[in-house]
Structure 1
């Protein structure tokens, strides 16, 4: 029992005195050695052999897509970059003077690559801030993780709007150095999405990273975004299609009601309003034309033609067939309409009942019995189905092109 007590007393008193601990004095001594005794100079590249290139590994940890402005063709993202390199002037032996194995140093106190976003949208600034620290280990390994809100340029292709995909690149380059002096390599992670927050308007469908093969030290991070089209389908596409259908049904409204022209003009103005809304959503350039804009222009042009036809028909409806005979052009509308409406109900005429004189006389009597109102009704029938087929074909073809082309 006495021997056990002596052993415990020995462990509590003697052993702790031999345990190695790091104190603030030890860290201060190490910093004095590195920056004062060794005369560290942050203006010198961190290599003892200055003919070699500093090898820097770079990854991008994307946090969020803040905004994608198609008008200005700019992409605003947030996240942080991870840089790793070896600084040979920041190496030490932890066994000497009870030194720590790693320390934290303000980023402006050591050498770091002047990496910047090359395709910045507004201002060209460096990364990080003076209050950020870098992490340095005893073997000279440096970790620098500057958090940034990046606003870059991004060329927008609006051909398949609102089912479009956009590919945006963020180009980071060591501005003052060539590839022979500083070589930026793509890290093992590339674009990391472990902290990514989904955007409400855009879906991130793919990411990639690549290095340049030129003399320039640069790395490209590519983000492929797909627009979430639900908002535009509900608030733009469906109303436009419904308005185009209403434009077709102009010819259902009787010419004698006196409301047809005003109805056609109202539908045309509604389409013009939606064309203005779409124009405000798209970037003002002439490199690409949206299929939706083409569809709106076709529908608006056809709606304009419908307004003109309604005005012409209103003029024809008040004519007197006794004072203004119906010529063969307008009779053609009547015959075509009769052909499509009464083709199945026509009775076959037997050879005995047929004679050229009776047929000619019957045709003349029919022409005399046709009124201008009947001509207008026949025109309505032809124009209705022509407009319906035109609108249907344009909607199906251009809609298929927009949806499948984006894929």
Structure 2
């Protein structure tokens, strides 16, 4: 490592009798504990594993403390050197680590890392690392959810009678600079809360200082709206229209079970798509409830359509008479009134011709056909209006479900 002449002189003088294996307070026999200040100066979210319930961060933790055994007077140096950079293993360092992390990767090996030492004995150490930290996820409101992940930083062997750990800023860090605090394409860092904590759970009168960083993340939900919620809504809407609209201009009803079944299959595939990426929990996420509700709406609409088709077929083939109450409710236009009385429009032929018996039978047959056509027309009009009523009811339910999920995100 290249150094200036002044830095070399200061290093030779300050570290001449220095022992980096012994805590400075013990060397001086002063009994004073070392106060270490910790600060997160860079944080970047790399990944959130929903299934494993863990988060991966690139984090740069800065530690600063005062080592009373490393001091010099800059006035005695011709170049007025007030600080120098030395290899990390040259000075004593507190064993402060992120012990909530399950794995750590250091992009810069310890042999290449340096610390800054000031003339008053102040030491500043910066450790960049990639960590995997457990983070219990509450996905009840997925994809409109927010998560909180806890990082615990503290000494591994030194209790607070030897090393006192303090946060640099509390209770919140300033994360307005997105260059140093960044989320990823799916998550945004909302805030970082800082809390000093004393852990006395080890017993024997030992208390260990810790600093807790609670990182709040918010999911970017528009992606899921465009690729999951909106297509599901469109699919359900088209399914309802397709089930209750006549397939021919004549107005005759045909079974549309295949359309409903295909819609249910497509929605099941949507449900399977996101359930594979979600942690297994006792409750279904909001998006899962939404897709399941839309499936239920389409299933009920399919069942109603099949029932109406069956009733329509039975009413026309078995010549059921239209109940008066049903006719009054659903047949009210002038055209409806006309088809209700059309069966009596053909009158029996009068006269005593030889052909009268034959003409009477033909006339009776024609009247029967006219009556059947009129009855079929009545039932067709009734079931057309039942279709409109059913389509309106299910579309209203469909819209209410979509409004509910958008309101539920708040």
When normalised by structure 2's length, the TM-score is 0.73
Whether 1:399 aligns to 2:370 is no
Conservation of the 8 A alpha-carbon contact between 2:85 and 2:116: yes
- Of 237, 244, 250 in structure 2, the residue corresponding to residue 251 of structure 1 is 244
* Matches for 1:103-252 after TM superposition, within 5 Å: 103-122=84-103, 129-188=110-169, 191=173, 193=175, 194=177, 195-196=179-180, 197=182, 199-214=184-199, 215-249=207-241, 250-252=243-245
- 1:170-196 Cα offsets, whole Å, 9 max, x none, are 221212222232221010486454432
RMSD between aligned alpha carbons? 3.7
Residue aligned with 2:16, SS = helix
Conservation of the 8 A alpha-carbon contact between 1:94 and 1:101: yes
Conservation of the 8 A alpha-carbon contact between 2:155 and 2:209: yes
Distance in 1 of aligned mates of 2:331 and 2:30: 92
Residue in structure 1 matched with residue 340 of structure 2 by the alignment = none
Whether 1:89 aligns to 2:69 is yes
Residue in structure 2 matched with residue 29 of structure 1 by the alignment = 12
Residue in structure 2 matched with residue 297 of structure 1 by the alignment = 292
- 1:286-307 Cα offsets, whole Å, 9 max, x none, are 2x53222111111112222223
- 1:234-286 Cα offsets, whole Å, 9 max, x none, are 11111111122123211123484645111111221221121112313432222
- Of 297, 302, 311 in structure 2, the residue corresponding to residue 307 of structure 1 is 302
Conservation of the 8 A alpha-carbon contact between 2:14 and 2:71: no
Distance in 1 of aligned mates of 2:25 and 2:333: 93
Residue aligned with 2:144, SS = coil
Task: Please list every run of 5 or more consecutive structure 2 residues that lacks an aligned counterpart in the other structure.
Answer: 200-206, 338-370
* Matches for 1:350-361 after TM superposition, within 5 Å: none
Distance in 2 of aligned mates of 1:345 and 1:321: 19
Distance in 2 of aligned mates of 1:341 and 1:397: 36
Task: Please list every run of 5 or more consecutive structure 1 residues that lacks an aligned counterpart in the other structure.
Answer: 1-20, 348-364
Aligned residues: 355
Cα drift, residue 341 of structure 1: 7.0
Structure 1 residues 388, 89: closer, same or farther in 2, change over 3 A?
A: same
Residue aligned with 1:212, SS = strand
Conservation of the 8 A alpha-carbon contact between 1:79 and 1:149: yes
Distance in 2 of aligned mates of 1:327 and 1:216: 85
Residue aligned with 2:156, SS = strand
* Matches for 1:289-368 after TM superposition, within 5 Å: 289-319=284-314, 323=318, 334=326, 339=329, 342=332
Conservation of the 8 A alpha-carbon contact between 1:114 and 1:126: no
Residue aligned with 2:287, SS = helix
Whether 1:102 aligns to 2:109 is no
Distance in 1 of aligned mates of 2:334 and 2:216: 58
- Of 37, 40, 46 in structure 2, the residue corresponding to residue 60 of structure 1 is 40
Residue in structure 2 matched with residue 42 of structure 1 by the alignment = 21
Distance in 2 of aligned mates of 1:219 and 1:128: 25
Distance in 2 of aligned mates of 1:314 and 1:372: 11
Conservation of the 8 A alpha-carbon contact between 2:331 and 2:381: no
Distance in 2 of aligned mates of 1:95 and 1:88: 18
- Of 388, 391, 409 in structure 2, the residue corresponding to residue 384 of structure 1 is 391
Residue aligned with 2:141, SS = coil
Cα drift, residue 84 of structure 1: 0.8
Residue aligned with 1:293, SS = helix
Residue aligned with 1:91, SS = coil
When normalised by structure 1's length, the TM-score is 0.74
